Amino acid sequence: MRQSYTPSIPELQSFTACARLGTTTLAAGHLNLTQSAVSRSLATLEDRLGVALFNRVRKRLVLSPAGHAFLDKAEAILAQLDDASVGVMAFGGRTSILRIAALPSFVRSWLIPRLPGFTAIAPDISLDISARLDPVDFIRDPVDLAIMRKTHQPTGSTAEIILPENLVVVASPALLKGASNLSDTDLLNLPLLQQSTRPTLWLDWFRDGDADPRRALRGARLDHFDMVIDAAIAGLGVGIVPHVIARQSLDRGTLVLASGRKFETGDAYALILPDGQEPSAEVRLFRDWLRAAVRR
Amino acid sequence: MRQSYTPSIPELQSFTACARLGTTTLAAGHLNLTQSAVSRSLATLEDRLGVALFNRVRKRLVLSPAGHAFLDKAEAILAQLDDASVGVMAFGGRTSILRIAALPSFVRSWLIPRLPGFTAIAPDISLDISARLDPVDFIRDPVDLAIMRKTHQPTGSTAEIILPENLVVVASPALLKGASNLSDTDLLNLPLLQQSTRPTLWLDWFRDGDADPRRALRGARLDHFDMVIDAAIAGLGVGIVPHVIARQSLDRGTLVLASGRKFETGDAYALILPDGQEPSAEVRLFRDWLRAAVRR
DNA sequence: TGAATTTGATGAGTTATATTCATCAACATG
DNA sequence: CATGTTGATGAATATAACTCATCAAATTCA
């Protein structure tokens, strides 16, 4: 029996996500909801409280003073709720939760296929994995650890490199028709799949050559590496992806290297932990397992 | 998009009410839900967290260690949510909330009929009135002020007497058939309506006489004074109720005094405010209005 | 400058969650 | 031992959360 003015959890989540990300559309993506759901939750919350939490400025949402005052409180409440829940689950001694934020491509291509290995040594730990493209904020996000590119390391955290980011160029055998070790000129005659969150990768690849930069940007645009992998397997074009992401498909033969060259971006995948608190037993267990897994 | 382990507000409310009141049945009454709803919410919460928050001992609920650890956190979260909501509503400047806990009979018979008077002088204050039989806990309950019997005043609060509790004996004119000023013996020949939360009132009334105590306890049992009033109006028997509760019905003629006697319990209705904080403008406004209203 | 894209809001419909009614069996009380 | 209380549960109902589709306003880009 909520008081008529008591917000619901989905409403608080929609509000805080909108406030932090700036649009209902981005918030929806973050929450794995539709934009419509977020917009409605926001409107319901405002009706409920009788206060405009955002000012509508040219179809944009601008936090109102009231919304600003409410934001920190709402986030604190959501954080405490998460901590209390995780805490009581740990107390029960039956299951504990390890909350991991990681890049979606890394999760699908690398982490998930190897998770049976972790589960086998830690059957009482329940993993809560959220796929994240944006950097983690350990104060705001209920996350115990993150696996991101090192350059996305937030302040107030410690990063341990686990895998360097080496890019390779891959395509399906059918697209290449048995060819391999293509020259840059050859590659430019093929559609080059674009990764929209990493728009300069092809330019970097062709940097030392005399390739026309505009030709390097032709091709379908996809926003995750794993989608690029899928498109490459389907023969839609040549993809430039981290070797670690492509490795499985290469081993299976659904993709082949289109070039003998590799490109080190200088970046790396890193295990990122928040400073200022002793890692829990679960975190340490996962970290040790991860260290061993990357050596194989 | 709640994580699968994130509790909902109704679940938290059911849990905290059960933990504090001891039974799902009492919790349900407190929350204005059915026992079934509370039982289910509890079960859902425990499933969700994978932890038994209560041990079931001979069909009784006993807080488990995990439940005990969770209780304070859950209550703090609910309290902060309420404060944040009320705070942002005040911020908006459009409406502010005044949260009042009061005896149900007093609310219905006295407060509500007079509220237009308060609303006329304070149209921007929205009242949130919860009917309460049990004493208020200002730390745990999101309540700005309470109107209770003085003997229910909790520690850490200040009580200001507004009305003495004078009991009168009332019945419908049809039941009395024009008689009035009945003797105690006459009364004992009529069904005497019992107020189950105040079971000794009839005994107190007949204390100085030679009435057989067992005959004083015959009659239908009802748990609020306003129900006693309704039953008396319906001719089911004679009720013993505070004069302030019966006054409206007496003025209307639907009830008459069955006896010329009054009985002062020594208790009183009091406005109760929490110590340690300056009363808000809304509380002060309501207090001043209440003082004036009881003088009329 | 115009076409394409993004954005928030909203009607209508669908799905998930909260709640009720009714009932049962275990337990407590006088 | 009869009666009342209690928590749990099947089935049905009510409410909240969410989606699809669409629109108009606003922004972006060539």
Q: Which amino acid is at A77?
A: I
Average pLDDT value for residue range B130-147: 78
Other Cβ atoms less than 10 A from the Cβ of A171: the count is 27
Length of chain B in residues, anyone? 296
- B263, with CB counted inside 10 A (0-12, 13-18, 19+), is middle
Split at pLDDT 50, 70, 90, the class of A88 is confident
- HSE toward the beta carbon, residue A142, CA cutoff 13 A: 23
Q: What percent of chain A has pLDDT over 70?
A: 86
Integer Cα distance of B88 and B98 in angstroms: 13
Q: Does the pLDDT of residue A7 top 50, yes or no?
A: yes
CB spacing of B8 vs A6 below 8 angstroms: no
Confidence of residue A278 (pLDDT cuts 50, 70, 90): confident
* Strand D closer than 7 A to residue B60 Cβ: yes
**What confidence score (pLDDT) does residue B38 get?**
94
Whether the domain at A9-87 and the domain at A94-152+273-295 fall into the same CATH topology: no
Per-residue pLDDT reduced to its tens digit, A143-167: 889 998 888 888 888 888 888 888 9
Q: What percent of chain A has pLDDT over 90?
A: 16
pLDDT at residue B54, as a whole number: 92
- pLDDT surpasses 70 at A95: no
* Per-domain residue ranges of chain A: 9-87, 94-152+273-295, 164-267
Nucleotides in C strand less than 7 A from protein CB: 6-12, 17-23, 25-28
Residues of chain A contacting B, Cβ within 8 Å:
1-3, 5-10, 13, 31-33, 49-53, 65-67, 69-70, 73-74, 76-77, 80-89, 91-92, 94-95, 97, 128
What are the angstrom distances between the C-alpha of A145 and each of A106, A150, A171, B92, B165? 14, 13, 33, 38, 62
pLDDT-derived band at B83 (thresholds 50, 70, 90) equals confident
pLDDT score at B210: 61
Q: Give the pLDDT score at B10.
A: 94
Measured in angstroms, what separates residue B43's CA from nucleotide D2's C1'? Answer: 32
CB A41 within 8 A of CB A12: no
Q: Which CATH number does A94-152+273-295 carry?
A: 3.40.190.10
* pLDDT at residue B148 is higher than 60: yes
Q: In which element (H, E) is residue A257 found? A: strand A256-257
- Closest-CA residue to A168 (of A252, A100, A235, A228): A228
Pick the CATH number of B95-296 from 3.40.190.290, 3.90.1150.10, 3.40.50.1100, 1.10.3720.10: 3.40.190.290
Predicted complex ipTM: 0.58
How does strand A145-149 pair with strand A263-274?
antiparallel
CB A42 within 8 A of CB A8: no
Out of A8, A70, A84, name the one closest to residue B77 (CB).
Answer: A84
pLDDT in tens, B94-119: 456 788 888 877 876 787 777 777 77
- Kindly report, residue by residue over B12-37, the tens digit of the pLDDT: 999 999 998 889 999 998 888 999 99
The pLDDT mean for chain A works out to 82
Average pLDDT (A270-294) is: 85
> Does residue A239 register a pLDDT over 50?
yes
Q: Please, what is the Cα angle at B208 between B207 and B214, to 5 degrees?
A: 40
Per-residue DSSP letter, B100: E
Amino acid at A221: R
CATH 3.10.180.10 fits B9-87, yes or no: no
**Residue A94 pLDDT more than 50?**
no
Range with lowest mean pLDDT among A29-33, A157-161, A262-266, B128-132: B128-132
For A111-147, the pLDDT digits (tens) are: 766 776 777 777 667 676 776 777 787 877 778 899 9
Distance CA A85, CA A81 (A): 6
- The CATH number, out of the four listed (3.20.20.10, 3.40.190.10, 3.40.50.2000, 3.40.50.720), of the domain defined by the range A164-267: 3.40.190.10
- Let me know how many helices (H) and strands (E) chain A has, helices first: 13, 11
A148-166 core/surface letters (b: 16 or more CB in 10 A; e: else): bbbebbbeebebeebbebe
